[in-house]
Structure 1
């Protein structure tokens, strides 16, 4: 994953000084030396050298890594029934992510279904092609990967998915079941179609297994989605899922933690103060030690805000641990081992943040592979 902008990085050196550089395990005053798009050195020092860009008391953190966002679809259809230009949608989405400090985004796209009037089956191939074209044409500021969302209740899902399961951008696949009364909708009454229908249940099991086998063969991370029960987590573990994405009950989140799964939740849930659908709140999960990753879900700016909310006294996160929920943890969970931390040898994806406790953080400057992109 590399944009055309990043590919143009030269071997020139730049030095960034901050009194609050957030490393993986501590915060330091020092300089980050960048050469050829990578971090060459991290030097502790109280004062900037003559060649350094002085960021003062602003924090320097790694670029954010967003593993789940529906934001692209919102740009493609800004109003019900009004589809916009696909390339323009990608460019606008990309710019919004960059301004929020996100340097890597996994665009979360469903291959089928309808949402707010958007025909996802029709939109999906256009948006994937638009991401590819914008990248080739050098129109994007940040890195874009794919997070494919599969509704396992659909009989033709494997045929629809086939052309995309070896796409070079694919980093994550999630297994979804949005039947009434199931998972995210477990608090709502089922419709006329019984949720325990044997034929549908068998189809779901077959689809989950086939998709899991493909993921394992290609080294793509696999996530369970909206897990609500112990049985859901047990099934996810049996399929080789390494991530519990958006568990909707504390029971499921605790089971995921016991099974060694990474737990990802939506940042808007924390910023809003709870789940919009009445499910497990991020605040409760974080206080119980059941949170590893924050994703933007549907608002790019929510990630940086939520990470700093975790530092508040009632949450109990250190600043490095809080920042890791939007940088290192999502990067590692999706196999992106070249980013997510400020450390020698890693890509120089960096964000200058102005922040004081109790206030909104502001991403003032954003670098992708050493190049200023916002």
Structure 2
């Protein structure tokens, strides 16, 4: 297959009026100018559209929301997985790490799902082994207060079901949720302030996974080549502690101090693209665009809104960042963070042909073609709309 007349975004810069030749699922040649495209069996005229590497999403909670979009409203896991794949391919995401929580009691109570967490993990993993539209992997989000889930986490890692592990602690008063914001949220949900403070005290008194068991979990992950990330670090000291434990990804730092420390230590520092697209944090924490411009965040993930990944890239470019650098935030840098950059994450010869063509309509990027391993898996061409009959 040949893609020609494209504006190609490579790690080294832009190639206008460029072409990419694909064969056997790989990028074979990249060039500029005219080519005898008529001699190629499958040729697509990009018509000047942007040709980008497929997006890599290391953290999205979308699969749980797809399975249980409302409390107690469960849909078949197979249906949720397949429909989410279709939507993600349309968003330009060619590699996704489905982020599934384990040991996070508050989230389980909120969902009221008929499925156990183990059922969801096992079925999603089985689906990733079947024929798929995009590259699907599993990100295990382990809650440190989920002591009873420790053995399940170890078993999932030992059986090769997990590709990325993050360790989380959503105890209020640290990390993402401050005491004041916890009280405000609880009162909005119908508690009195006294009840909210009692709930806060109970949550803060909950035990967390003992250090020796955390060490076992992290050692097991490393022995299975599972990359490990921290989550919601709020202080430099917490980042130091995570780094000392052998963790090399700092995910969703909630303060500039934490993000800066992660960068100083040479960690990959990941922020949410939803934060960029919305113009700030839902919780009043670190603004990701500000942190990117300060040079302390180098990667993006969609968090809870997959379409935001592509839109954040183009928003950053519209706000003055070089498009080549903005694209790396959602492609090459995440690939490097989890060690798959030799296979995907950039438009270079020999890499997987995970590519997207992007049209820009009135400043909004729209994916028109998505290729995974050289196969066209999604296509959506914009069509001009006829005038209403009363205007004709």
TM-score > 0.5 by shorter chain: yes
Question: How has the CA–CA distance of structure 1 residues 333 and 302 changed in structure 2, closer, same or farther, with 3 Å as cutoff?
Answer: same
Aligned to 1:63: 54
Indicate conservation of the 8 Å contact 1:152/1:207, yes or no.
no
Of 367, 371, 374, 2:375 maps to 371
- Name the CA distance, whole Å, in 1 between partners of 2:325 and 2:113: 36
Residue of 291, 300, 306 corresponding to 2:312? 306
Of stretches 286-295 and 161-170 in structure 1, the one that deviates more from structure 2 is: 161-170
Structure 1 gap ranges (5+) = 1-13
Cα 1:194–1:353, aligned 2, differ >3 Å: closer, same or farther? closer
Higher helix share: 2
> What is residue 381 of structure 2 aligned with on the other side?
none
Q: How many residues align?
A: 354
Q: Tell me if the contact between 2:218 and 2:228 (Cα under 8 Å) persists in the aligned partners.
A: yes
Counterpart CA distance in 2 for 1:289 and 1:80 is 40
Q: Distance in 2 between matches of 1:250 and 1:204?
A: 29
User: Pairwise mapping of residues 1-374 of structure 1 onto structure 2 (< 5 A)?
Assistant: 14-29=1-16, 30-45=18-33, 49-50=37-38, 51=40, 52-112=43-103, 113-115=105-107, 117-119=110-112, 122-138=115-131, 140-186=132-178, 188=181, 191-193=200-202, 195=204, 200=207, 203-313=209-319, 316-337=320-341, 338-355=343-360, 359-374=363-378
Change (3 A) 1:48 1:102: farther
Q: Quote the offset at 1:135 in angstroms.
A: 4.2
CA contact 2:317–2:326 (8 Å) conserved in 1: yes
Could you tell me how far apart the structure 2 residues matched to 1:274 and 1:207 are? 36
Cα RMSD, aligned residues only: 2.1
Residues 159-179 of structure 1: CA deviation (Å, up to 9, x unaligned): 121221134452211010011
- Describe the shift of the 1:278–1:364 C-alpha distance in structure 2 as closer, same or farther (beyond 3 A): same
Match of 2:192 in 1: none
State the shift of 1:194 in Å.
7.3
The whole-number CA distance in structure 1 between the counterparts of 2:2 and 2:236 is 50
Per mean C-alpha deviation after superposition, the further-off stretch among 53-62 and 215-224 is 215-224
What displacement does 1:53 show?
1.7
What is the DSSP-based 3-state SS (H/G/I as helix, E as strand, rest coil) of the residue aligned with 1:237?
helix
**Cα shift at 1:156:** 2.1
Counterpart contact for 2:74–2:113, Cα < 8 Å? no
Using the size of structure 1 for normalisation, the TM-score is 0.89
Q: Deviations over 1:306-361 (max 9, x none)?
A: 01111133xx42111111111111112112130011111100001000126x7110
Q: 3-state DSSP class of the match of 2:86?
A: helix
Q: Is the 8 A contact 1:263 1:292 kept in 2?
A: yes
Offset, 1:291: 1.6
List runs of 5+ in structure 2 lacking aligned partners. Answer: 183-196, 379-392
